[in-house]
Every structure is written in C-alpha cells, then in structure tokens.
Structure 1
Amino acid sequence: MKRAFTLAEVLITLGIIGVVAALTIPTLMSNHRANVTMQKLKKFYSSMSQAQLMAINDYGEVQNWDFVENGGESNNAIVLNWFNKYFKPYLNSTEIIDKKVIKDDEIKDAGIAVKMGDGSIATFAGFAGGYMHIRLYTNPKTFYNDTATEGKDEFLFGFNQSNASAFEVYGQTGWKDINQLKYNSWGGCYKENTSNGHPLCTRLLQMNNWTVPKDYPYKF
C-alpha cells in the first residue's frame, strides 16, 4: 500500500508552489500587458497608415491638404474638421471625447481626443507648419487621470505634411541609430532623461518590430 503524504509534506509542497507562483505570475502578467500594448501600437500605426493612403487616393497628396500655416494658430474646430475630413471616414468605430473630461490643457484648448475601436485614446494637437503631434494612450485610465508615462502607456506619432505618403512614428524620418534612440539627451528612451520626456521610445519600439527590447526602461 502506498504511503499517504503527511500534513507537513503537503504544507511544504503548497509552500513551494506558492513561492514559485509569487515569482512567476508577476512576470507573466507584465509580459501579457507588454504584448497587449505592442499590439495596440502596431494596430494604430497600421490603421492610421492605411487611412492616410485612402485619403490620399480621395484628396490627392498631403501637401495639398488643409493645414495651419507656420506661425498660424490652431484650435479645436480646425483640428476636428481636419480629422473628420481626412481620417475619420477610413477608421472603424472612432468617437470624439468631450473636452470637459480632458485634463491636458493643450488638447482641451487646441486639439481633440479620439477613442479608438480598441479603447485606446488618440490625441491630435500642435497643428502648425504642416505637422501635428499625435499621441496614443494605450491605457485609457492614465489619459483620463493625466498620469500617463511616455514610453509606457503614452506613445508619440505624427502627421507630417511634408511627407508625401506615410503616417509617421515620431522621429521616423531622422532617427535610425538605436543607441541615439536610447540615450540621446533630447527625448532618448531612458528613465533618467527628464528634460523632454521620452518621445523616441515609440521609434525604438518600431525599429524593434513592435516588440519590447530586453533592456527597455519600463516594465508593463
């Protein structure tokens, strides 16, 4: 007859299982959140790129689209009309967010926030001289609470009126060196850089095929 486990043996086994779970579950959860974030970034970039190409087909090259001249002043209505004309018809399930719930003054006064089909929030602002900053908040709570961390749940893209064919990740046309993207004192993707945020993190992730590098400064 097989010997039954003693209570002490059962408790030891359960303790070992608990320790292993405590060590592995946080990593598994972090990896899952990272994967979800990367999928949202990849989807947003793809959707916006396709929308821009379809708008080019309907309205001609982007150099001829409506935009705010250098030195001109943008506002909510200008940005909203631009988005509704050139992008909204080619995107699925977008919803303009009431500016009353927006805490970011730049977006509230001179831009718009759009809820995307997957729940992410995209903001469009800074439209002058043919360039618009577009930010994707992959965790909507951090947008509404104004607690987002650039490079973790806030990522910078852009519409460039001088780029004839492609929707851009911020820095896409000029930044190609991985070390510069990581450690440049202006916008480099490292935690110690506090002067200009981390706008180059999005470009770093794009160059890594929308996967998180092992030495990425943020855990998800």
Structure 2
Amino acid sequence: MITLGIIGVVAALTLPGLIQNHTKTTVETKLKKFYSQINQAILLSESEYGDRDYWYTDANSVETDKDGKPVNGSSTAEKWFNKYIGAHMKVIQTDYDNKGIPTFYFADGTALKMYGRGIGDNNTTKGMRDWMFYTTNPEKCLKLYGTDAKSRGRCAFAFIFSPTTTAANGKKGFESYQYNTGGNENTIKSLCKTQGQYCTAVIQMNGWKIPDDYPYKVSY
C-alpha cells in the first residue's frame, strides 16, 4: 500500500509536467509547420505572378449591404489571400467576424485571421499586414482565456506580412510580429511579458522552440 501510495504521488507530480511538455511540442510543431507552409505558398505565387512586391497590397475594404452590414466574402483581403496564398494551402472553411473580416481554417485544425493593422491600433478593416495564427479553433482559444489580448502568446500567435516596408521583419515573407522593436531581441523578450503578440518572435528567435523562461503556458 505504501509503495502504491508513493507511485501515485510521483505520478501526480510528473503527469502535469509531461502533459505540458507534450503541449509545448505540439504548439512548436504547429508554428513551424505554418511558417514553412505559408512562406512556401508565397514562393509558389512568386513563380506564377512575379516578385511579391508587385502583388502585395496593404489595403483592404469590405462591401456593405443596404442596411450597412458587411457582406461576407466581399473583402479585398479575402480575395487577395485566396488568389496568392490560399491557393497553395489546404483551406477547408472561411468564417467572418461582425466586420466581415475573414478567418481561414486549415485541414490540420489551425486557423489564420486577417487583422489588417489591428494588432497595434485595433484597425482590423484597413490594411493587410497583421495576421493572427491559432493553434486550435479560434473560438476555443478565445473562450479558454476570455479575451483576445490574453490569448496571444498562448494559443494565438501574431505574424506580419509587409514585404514592401523596411520595418522590423519587413522586406521578407510571413514573419513573427516585431512592430516598433527594431528587431532587438531584448526589447522583444521584455514586451512579450506584457503584450503576447510579441511572443511569436521570442519562439522564432529560439529556432521555433518555446524557451524554458517563456512567460506563458501554451495550448492548442
């Protein structure tokens, strides 16, 4: 009985750690896979349409009906994504928020939402540079943490696509969100502790591995 009791205590102490380690590995794999696939999609579109500088645009608009409500599927961002990115990725479903902004669902259970310029200034209907990648269904992610801001760095990870600018991670493909940091690693690590959108960069800088001192528990 004593031996069984000890085994039970040890299991109780180690099981949560094993579960979290598995969760970390799964999230790392999802992030690395998404990063690879979406940048491969960009390369494929470049082979078809030319340099990304020519077909990228940081502009979005959503049509409205006679009652002023957004018309789902009418955004220029969605049409752009479907042509240049989605055509090379396994998009199985598209949903919309109350502003007509699309979220794209992939076959592996992850999703990507267009944030416009919405991560920094909450302007989701204008622009096309900010994107949020979800390691699970976005609704599940948001319910788990209560708010959009609290989900960031946990099950929602911010990216930026701005190949025509010289800002941090500009002139590149889909990269981790590093707005207004100059790409400084210490600045990014510090911001990650209070603004989860910067945590994608922390993971990327560590070779898409979640560091031991990462400030949040991730989920999927």
TM-score between both structures, scaled by the size of structure 2: 0.77
Distance in 1 between the 2:56 and 2:39 partners? 18
Note the C-alpha offset of 1:39: 0.4
Distance in 2 between the 1:158 and 1:28 partners? 32
Give, as a single letter, the amino acid of the residue that structure 2 aligns with 1:24: T
Distance in 1 between the 2:163 and 2:208 partners? 25
Give, as a single letter, the amino acid of the residue that structure 2 aligns with 1:182: K
Q: Quick one: which of 71, 79, 85 aligns to 1:87?
A: 85
Distance in 2 between the 1:66 and 1:49 partners? 14
Distance in 2 between the 1:211 and 1:115 partners? 24
Distance in 1 between the 2:106 and 2:30 partners? 10
Q: Does 1:115 align with 2:105?
A: yes
Q: Does 1:52 align with 2:42?
A: yes
Corresponding residue SS for 1:160? coil
Q: Deviations over 1:88-136 (max 9, x none)?
A: 1111x2123332xxxxxxx441521011121011111316886421111
Distance in 2 between the 1:145 and 1:212 partners? 20
Q: Does 1:142 align with 2:151?
A: no
Q: Quick one: which of 15, 19, 31 aligns to 1:25?
A: 15
Q: Which runs of 5+ in 2 are unaligned?
A: 63-73, 118-124, 165-169
TM-score between both structures, scaled by the size of structure 1: 0.77
Q: Cα RMSD (Å) of the superposition?
A: 2.5
Corresponding residue SS for 2:75? helix
**Closer/same/farther in 2, CA of residues 155 and 26 from structure 1, 3 Å limit:** same
Note the C-alpha offset of 1:173: 9.8
Give, as a single letter, the amino acid of the residue that structure 1 aligns with 2:134: Y
Distance in 1 between the 2:82 and 2:200 partners? 25
Q: Deviations over 1:25-82 (max 9, x none)?
A: 000000000110010000000000000111111111222215255xxx5225211101
Q: Deviations over 1:117-156 (max 9, x none)?
A: 2101111131688642111111211147784511111100
Alignment check: 8 A CA contact 1:95 1:115 kept: yes
Distance in 1 between the 2:45 and 2:81 partners? 11
Deviates more, 1:161-170 or 1:15-24: 161-170
Q: Quick one: which of 185, 188, 204 aligns to 1:178?
A: 185
Higher Rg:
1
2:207 aligned partner: 209
Identity across matched positions, percent:
35
Alignment check: 8 A CA contact 1:170 1:202 kept: yes
Distance in 2 between the 1:144 and 1:59 partners? 40
Q: Which runs of 5+ in 1 are unaligned?
A: 1-10, 100-106
Alignment check: 8 A CA contact 1:79 1:125 kept: no
